[in-house]
Amino acid sequence: METDILNEKITTSVKWASITEIAAKLITPFTSMLLARLLTPDEFGVVATVTMVTSFADVFTDAGFQKYLIQKHFENDKEFYENANVAFWTNLSISLLLWIIIVIYRNPIATQVGNPGLGHVIAVASVSLFLTAFSSIQMAIYKKKFDFKTLFLARIVGVFMPVVITVPLAFMGFGYWSIIWGTIATNLANAIILTIKSTWKPYLFYSFSILKKMFSFSMWTLLESILLWMTSYIGTFIIGKYLTSYYLGLYKNSISMVTSVMNIVAASTTSVLLSALSSVKNDKKQFDSVFYSFQQKVGLLLIPLGVGVFLFRDLATSILFGAQWSEASLFVGLYSLAQAFTILTGQYISLTFTANERPKLSVLSQILQLIELVALLLVTVNKGFIYIVFARCIARAMFGVINLIIGKIYIGMSPVKIIKNLMPAIMGSFTMVPISIIGLSFENSFIWQIVFIALCCISYGASILIMPQSRKILLPLIEKTLKRCKKIVKN
């Protein structure tokens, strides 16, 4: 693929993916803010354990086929669609089998995850397995073709479903059921929209030879997904066993909200980056160029976002959750810092493993992360929630360190260049620290903090424009944006 054609596709895809994530993240936090005031941390704790079960089953319904379809080169559309069809029917069959198992053993499962007597809730929530299995392959096709415009439509409709279903149900007193029904409605909307607009529709075709080829790659991706699930939910399991639903709600909802905020920047690029890297995987020079360029540009937004949330963590927690969640403030701040670093190193480097068809490296990375996470949580869980906060944030940051090492050894990524790319954003973010300290030492009112947040933004923007490395990136973007604005005004 020619470089200019690829760059054009990347630019268009990032535009639609960015619009999608920005719109979604403007709406989703608003919904979460309302729910945090309508539901208690205990009710969020119940939802966390139910989600732990359903998300584990979801790992198997995808079976890693989505990544396979995105990164694999197919000779023609016929071969691609045949592989998609095999993946679809496999996913749907696995989801049916898993749902039957969950329904039969719902009560023992509920007991094991710390919510005895709520087996029926897990059984109902697991209906989403069919819906996510149905839409997973459709999403892979859209990403493969860089059609993020259609994904934007599906995502936006899905984002509004909680607004029209979850929040009203919560107002009416349905408690955790409001989130469960809202999730099912969202997954249903995605499945319908993606299927209707897709050029490919499932048809009666199956090939075990194709399945065998797919699974030779996907078994490692599946193992990676299982380990990723364990990394995401092992804390939920441990805290659910040793602490109350209140602290489980603080723990899981804080992580979810921070991830949601960070993904305003990150999620709009990861899918595009994987597709772009997969398309140039045979050209090492272009592969590295795409990766380092993405990482540097996203870092200019993600690092100050993480630092800013940490510096103004009390305000962020108050806005996002309300007064009853004040104990989560330190966790929200520290996890934001850790997540910003991890996305730019751990998460992005993991995509290079997949694009290079080396899923074993991702498996190795997840195993190492899981080991250190479990060790840290088990050591700290009986010492109090504050120790869990530090343990979880350190473990999250270590994922980035692990992937920097693995990427250097096996892919030839340069940790020095990665850190060098991030230095303008890091140095610019440091200018925000004294401003926030001065501001918060005098007054903690809402208006006062907003004023100093604005001053921090101005300070950061001015500092990175001074540095030549970041100026080379920002000035062309500013110039291009101004030209588009003038064009819009003229029209």
Query: What is the pLDDT at residue 1?
Result: 44
Q: For residue 336, is pLDDT > 90?
A: yes
Average pLDDT over residues 79-88: 83
Q: For residue 198, is pLDDT > 80?
A: no
Query: What is the pLDDT at residue 137?
Result: 78
- Per mean pLDDT, which of 113-127, 151-165, 261-275, 433-447 is the most reliable? 433-447
CB-based contacts of 278, cutoff 8 Å, min separation 6? 70, 71, 354, 355
Query: What is the pLDDT at residue 397?
Result: 92
Query: What is the pLDDT at residue 387?
Result: 92
Distances (CA, A) of 214 to 16, 64, 106, 278, 456: 29, 9, 31, 16, 49
Distances (CA, A) of 385 to 224, 262, 319, 330, 359: 29, 23, 22, 11, 35
Q: For residue 125, is pLDDT > 60?
A: yes
pLDDT averaged over every residue in the chain? 80
Average pLDDT over residues 441-453: 84
Query: Token pair for residue 181?
Result: 């029904």
Domain boundary assignment for the chain: 3-430, 431-491
Average pLDDT over residues 234-251: 81
Q: For residue 204, is pLDDT > 50?
A: yes
More confident residue, 166 or 324: 166
d(CA 155, CA 200): 19
Average pLDDT over residues 179-199: 81
Q: For residue 73, is pLDDT > 80?
A: no
**DSSP conformational letter for 280:** T
More confident residue, 14 or 196: 196
d(CA 143, CA 160): 22
Percentage of the chain beyond pLDDT 70 is 82
Q: For residue 489, is pLDDT > 80?
A: no
Query: What is the pLDDT at residue 140?
Result: 76
d(CA 143, CA 279): 12
Label residue 28 by pLDDT band (50, 70, 90).
low
Label residue 375 by pLDDT band (50, 70, 90).
very high
Among 144-158, 175-189, 212-226, which stretch is predicted with the lowest mean pLDDT? 144-158
Residue 130 · residue 92 · CB < 8 Å: yes
User: Could you read off the pLDDT of 92-112 as tens digits, one per residue?
Assistant: 888 888 888 888 988 888 887
Query: What is the pLDDT at residue 17?
Result: 56
More confident residue, 115 or 6: 115
User: Could you read off the pLDDT of 162-172 as tens digits, one per residue?
Assistant: 777 888 888 88
For residues 209-231, b (16+ Cβ closer than 10 Å) or e, as one string?
ebbeebbebbebbbbbbbbbbbb
Average pLDDT over residues 250-271: 77
Report the SS3 class of residue 61: helix
Q: What number of other Cβ atoms are within 10 A of residue 284's Cβ?
A: 12
Q: For residue 402, is pLDDT > 90?
A: yes
Query: Token pair for residue 376?
Result: 């840290």
For residues 50-61, b (16+ Cβ closer than 10 Å) or e, as one string?
bbbbbebbbbbb
Residue 175 · residue 39 · CB < 8 Å: yes
Residue 237 · residue 113 · CB < 8 Å: yes
Q: For residue 316, is pLDDT > 80?
A: yes
CB-based contacts of 97, cutoff 8 Å, min separation 6? none
Label residue 249 by pLDDT band (50, 70, 90).
confident
Q: For residue 465, is pLDDT > 80?
A: yes
Query: Token pair for residue 340?
Result: 């910003």
More confident residue, 427 or 151: 427
Average pLDDT over residues 224-251: 80
Query: What is the pLDDT at residue 63?
Result: 59
d(CA 341, CA 408): 17
Query: What is the pLDDT at residue 339?
Result: 92
